[in-house]
Structures are given as structure tokens and as C-alpha cells.
Amino acid sequence: MAIALEIKDLHKSFKTGFIPKRKKILEGISLKVEEGEIFGYLGPNGAGKTTTIKCVLGLIFPDKGEIEILGHDYLSLQAKQRIGFLPENPYFYDYLTASEFLRFYAQLFSLDKKEIGKKITDLLSLVGLNQSKDIQLRKFSRGMLQRIGFAQALINDPSLVLLDEPLGGLDPLGRKEIRDIIVRLRDNGKTVFLSSHILQDIEMICDRVAIIVQGEVINQGKLQDLISEKILFTEIILSGIEKKDIEGLGECLAGDGGRILLKVFDEKKVNDVLKLVQEHKGKIHSLIPRTETLEDLFVGMVTQQ
């Protein structure tokens, strides 16, 4: 697999305060993003996610380290020609209409005039803003700005798309739509690098992840390698059985309407519970084996640090 983005030993610090004091933000970030994958970059607030992305885009200059985008130096125009970027909480020119705005960005890529018109129509329908193409951006809602932001990131048909918290601040429906677009991008052979702290979303769509805490990557790899498949416990909701009969089998929590929520930690005991319920002519409402989630892994790692 070719490498879409490679970061080696990236350091960045900022001077803060009246009497300038150096504050280290990134302390040796190294990671590799392969072509054609969705790469999740996660970390708590203030870990350095956005700083990393800004370094990659040449918005800020690292103190030390190397960045290569699709085999080009990251500051070269060749690299920038092939990337798309959606910032966190995007905000664009107030007084431009949606299609004027996209036209402006298309011109920066020196696209053909005829091509630009078609591209804009396609992108606006992709993000569902066809009806609003002649509305000034200052009248756009938060969700609409996110969508038009997405459209501008794709204007040059980029090979690598960098998304900074693309799902933040959207309603559940909007989040699903954006998730679908991201997956479709990967299916079309594009590489997606997305930062987020919403773990469910990352878990749902990412192929590989890197976890960053306090400016350092503490773990990276395929999602299934990081999270063990081992069943942590089984959650069973049952009814028609006395609480005292099953107390020895697991942690017993009484629920509403005579239903009991039972947490069984030993896999072998699950069968015993099922048998017992059958004997008592009770009823099983649900049975969910819980494996480790990204959240468990994440919380574990962050607290360890």
C-alpha cells in the first residue's frame, strides 16, 4: 500500500503569556496513513489534533519534524493540489452565495471554466444544498455551513481529505449523512484522515486509528487489533423469575416492571441462566454480549497517561 500521509517526529510549541513562555503542544508525533483508508485521529480536547492538521496544511510551521503528502513535500503546490480540508466549526465569507463561494475556490485550482459549473452542481447535490445555491452564506445554519464546507473540501477531487471534527455540532440525521459521504469517498478510492473525539462515529467508519494524548501518539493500528474481541460480560434482561434464584450467577440489577437486568461476567454461566429461566417458565427479553469498545480502550489509555 502506498502512503498518503507520513508524519515523522513532529514537534511544535507556542509562546504564550506576557513574558513569553514556551508551551509544548506536539512532542514527537509520528504516523502513517495508507492510501484508500479512513484514518481516525482521536484524542481528548487540547491533545494536539488540530495543531497536527494545521502543521500538515502549512498553516503553522513545526519546530521540528518531517511531513510528506502523497510523496510530495507538504508545502509544495503539488501536494496542496491533491488535498481537501474541512476545518472545525467552518465559517466562510458572509456575503458570498453558496455557488459563488465554490466557484472562488475552484478558481484557485485553475479548473476549466466549463468543468467548474458542472462540478459545483454535482457537489451541491452531493451535500444536499441544491436549493440554497443562491443564498448568502451568512444566512446559513450551522449544519448547512458544515455541508458547504464539505463541498469546498471536495472541489478539486482530492486524493487525501483531511477533516477536523467533521461530525461535531450536527444533528443525528446530519451525522449519518456525513458519515455516509465519508464512507463513499473511501469506496471511490480516496484517503480520509479525520480527527474526532466522538468515538462511536470513529468506531463505525474508521479502518485504522491513532490515539493522541498530550501531544504524543500513544497507540495506533487497525481498529480490530487495538480492541480485543474478548467478551467482557453479557447483559441479560429477563422476567418471570425471582431475584434470589439467580443471585449467584452474576451482578443483579432490578429493572422496571419486574424485569431484571443481569450482568454475567463468566461466559459459561450464561447457559446456566438460560436453563434456569426455562425451568421457571420465565422470559428472556434481550441478551447482549459486550466486547471491549473503543471508548473502553480510550478511557483506559487516557487515564493511564
Partner 1 sequence: MKIRAVANNTFKEAIRDRILYLLLFFAAVCIGFSRVLSLLTVGDENKIIKDVGLASISLFGALMAILIGTGLVYKEIDKKTIYTLISKPIHRYQFLLGKFLGLIFTLFIMLLLMSIIFLALLFLHTYTIEWAMLVAIFFIFLELCLITAVAIFFSCFSSPILSSIFSVAFYLIGHLSWGFETLLQKMKPGVGKILVQILYTVLPDLENFNFKTEVVHHLLIPSKVLVYSSFYGIFYTLFVLILSMLVFRKRDFI
Which CB, 132 or 152, lies closer to partner 1? 152
* Ramachandran quadrant class, 169 (left: phi over 0; alpha: psi -120 to 50; beta: rest): left
Q: Which of 40, 43, 48, 87 binds partner 1 (CB under 8 A)?
A: 87
Euclidean distance between CA atoms 202 and 204, whole angstroms: 5
What are 252's strand-pairing partners? 262
With H, G, I as helix, E, B as strand and everything else as coil, classify residue 6.
strand
- Asked if 80 touches partner 1 (CB under 8 A), the answer is yes
Among 3, 96, 126, 183, binds partner 1 (CB under 8 A): 96
Closest contact distance (angstroms) between CB of 9 and partner 1 is 19
Q: Which residue has the cell 473525539?
A: 197
Taking the least distance from each CB to partner 1, the nearer of 58 and 65 is: 58
List the grid coordinates of 126.
452531493
Minimum distance of partner 1 from residue 139's CB (angstroms): 13
Least distance (Å) between residue 79 CB and partner 1: 8
Positions in 44-73 near partner 1 (CB under 8 A): 54, 57-61
> How many other CB atoms are there within 10 angstroms of residue 214's CB atom?
16
Cell numbers representing residue 233 in the block: 460480560
Task: Identify the DSSP state of 97.
Answer: B
Among positions 14, 21, 243, 278, the unique one binding partner 1 when judged by CB under 8 A: 14
Question: What character string, x for contact with partner 1 (CB under 8 A) and - otherwise, covers 137-156?
Answer: ------------x--xx--x
Residues of this chain, 211-230, that bind partner 1 according to CB under 8 A? none
Binding residues for partner 1, rule CB under 8 A, total: 33
Beta-strand relationship, 38-42 and 191-196: parallel
- Is 268 within 8 Å of 250 (Cβ atoms)? no
**Closer CB to partner 1, 26 or 246, in the complex:** 26
Assigned C-alpha cell, 302: 487516557
Query: At 211, phi and psi to the nearest 5?
Result: -110, 125
Instruction: Please give the residue ranges that form the binding site for partner 1 (CB under 8 A).
Output: 14, 54, 57-61, 77, 80-81, 83, 85-87, 89-96, 100, 104-105, 107-110, 149, 152-153, 156
